[in-house]
């Protein structure tokens, strides 16, 4: 899988984003909008062969995320949704 530099989109229901693959770089996570929902940042654990929650968000947030592994696979999971639009953006930071 090749590394991403940016991934953006919206949630208007439950579901997951596309994968965001980092190449040993940190990235910025931005969650915005007016919504009632729970959005989790998840990382794929290759040893467990499963997605694991890094952190969950209930309100708009901006966070710098350290990439814990070269080629780390991340995604967002809108696991609970009531109303509104959740916008998101994950963007690799410059080295």
Average pLDDT value for residue range 6-10: 95
The residue among 69 and 11 whose pLDDT is bigger is 11
Please report the pLDDT score of residue 66 as a whole number.
82
For 21-61, the pLDDT digits (tens) are 887 678 999 999 999 999 999 999 989 999 999 999 999 99
CA distance 20 to 9: 12
What is the number of residues in the chain? Answer: 95
The DSSP letter of residue 24 is S
Q: Is the pLDDT of residue 1 over 60?
A: no
The residue among 67 and 32 whose pLDDT is bigger is 32
CA distance 5 to 67: 13
pTM over 0.85: yes
Q: Phi, psi (5° rounding) for residue 69? A: -150, 145
């Amino acid at each position: 899988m090749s590394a991403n530099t940016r991934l953006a989109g919206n949630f208007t229901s439950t579901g997951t984003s596309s994968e965001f693959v980092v190449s040993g770089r940190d990235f910025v996570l931005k969650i915005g909008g007016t919504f009632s929902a729970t959005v989790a940042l998840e990382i794929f654990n290759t040893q467990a062969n499963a997605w694991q929650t890094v952190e969950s968000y209930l309100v708009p947030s901006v966070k710098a995320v350290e990439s814990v592994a070269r080629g780390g696979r991340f995604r967002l999971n809108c696991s609970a949704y009531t109303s509104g639009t959740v916008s998101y953006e994950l963007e690799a930071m410059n080295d």
